[in-house]
């Protein structure tokens, strides 16, 4: 069985389209969408594109979906969210139709599968505990064990921090698929993960960044220029992101 894991698309339709074009050659048996399809510049179009793939796709919910559903339903925002984030979430929620909202609301928080040669695999957005835990390759083992205590799966596939890496916590092999739409990496592109019975492969797909940036700027997204300039044309490095995330954990 061959599984493509696509995480953190964040409404970046051009990046998603580029990955899906590459998957036409790879021909995975299953595509797992690991959460945070929305919010982002083209949330409705991105969601519709994924729905078109039919039964080839399985979805899990990320914190982005949880927040967008909250906004769509007119419920109070999480107090931890800043004003700019609330603006992007509210705008993204306003782009969805009721049918899209109802479809996203059905997504589970986790997905358990088994692949010959790899064993049992748990797909989650952040950690098996919740969709918000943050960890990186620099996170101390003592803290990591609180996130993965009691996990029976041999492999956990996650996202949330938008950077690709592999690590171990005791007997659990942890894979972060990176981000299709907002990567933290050495160079721009769409990052994703491929798993099959023989191996695990970290992938990067190139796409027309200038054209994508123009589409983002024309989308009406509240942070369109920032998204285009800082998450498409250039991207934060994984090292920068790790230092930032670990500084948050130390507070």
Please give the Cα distance from 51 to 129 (Å, whole number): 27
For the record, the structure tokens of 93 come out as 């929620």
CATH number at residue 217: 3.60.21.10
DSSP 8-state class, residue 180: S
Q: What is the pLDDT of residues 150-206, one digit of tens each?
A: 999 999 999 999 999 999 999 999 999 999 999 999 999 999 999 998 899 999 999
Is pLDDT above 70 for 251? no
Q: Are 65 and 37 in contact (CB under 8 A)?
A: yes
Percent over 70 (pLDDT), the chain: 99
Q: How confident is the model at residue 77 (pLDDT cuts 50, 70, 90)?
A: confident
Q: What percentage of residues in the chain have a pLDDT greater than 90?
A: 94
Cα 70 to Cα 101: distance, rounded to the nearest angstrom: 10
pLDDT tops 90 at residue 78? no
pLDDT at 81: 86
Q: What DSSP string runs through 194-249?
A: EE-SS-EEEEEE---HHHHHHHHHTTT-TTHHHHHHHHTSS---HHHHHHHHHHHH
**First-residue to last-residue Cα distance in the chain:** 42
DSSP H helices, 2-130, are 13-26, 43-51, 63-72, 83-95, 98-105
Q: Verify cis geometry, omega within 30 degrees of 0, for the bond prior to 39.
A: yes
Mean pLDDT of 80-89: 90
What does the pLDDT look like over 4-31, one tens digit per residue?
A: 999 999 999 999 999 999 999 999 999 9
pLDDT, residue 250, reads: 65
Number of domains in the chain: 1
* pLDDT at residue 241, as a whole number: 94
Contact 97, 7 (CB under 8 A): no
Q: Note if the pTM is more than 0.85.
A: yes
What mean pLDDT value characterizes the chain?
96
Residue 153: give the domain boundaries: 3-249
């Amino acid at each position: 069985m061959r599984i493509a894991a696509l995480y953190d698309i964040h409404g970046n339709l051009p990046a998603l389209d580029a990955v899906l074009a590459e998957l036409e050659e790879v021909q995975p048996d299953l595509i797992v969408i690991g959460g945070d399809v929305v919010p982002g510049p083209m949330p409705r179009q991105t969601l519709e594109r994924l729905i078109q793939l039919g039964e080839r796709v399985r979805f899990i919910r990320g914190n982005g979906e949880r927040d967008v559903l909250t906004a769509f339903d007119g419920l109070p925002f999480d107090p931890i969210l800043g004003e700019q984030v609330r603006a992007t979430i509210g705008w993204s929620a306003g782009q969805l139709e009721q049918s899209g909202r109802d479809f996203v609301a059905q997504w589970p928080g986790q997905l358990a599968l088994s692949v010959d040669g790899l064993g049992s695999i748990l797909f989650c957005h952040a950690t098996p505990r919740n969709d918000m835990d943050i960890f990186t390759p620099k996170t101390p083992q003592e803290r990591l064990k609180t996130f993965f205590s009691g996990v029976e799966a041999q492999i956990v596939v996650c996202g949330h921090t938008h950077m690709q890496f592999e690590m171990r916590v005791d007997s659990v092999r942890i894979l972060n698929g990176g981000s299709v739409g907002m990567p933290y990496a050495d160079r721009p592109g769409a990052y994703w993960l491929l798993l099959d019975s023989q191996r695990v492969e970290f992938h990067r797909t190139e796409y027309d960044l200038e054209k994508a940036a123009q589409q983002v700027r024309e989308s009406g997204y509240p942070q369109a220029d920032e998204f285009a300039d800082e998450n498409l044309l250039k991207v934060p490095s994984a090292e920068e992101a790790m230092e930032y995330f670990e500084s948050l954990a130390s507070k």
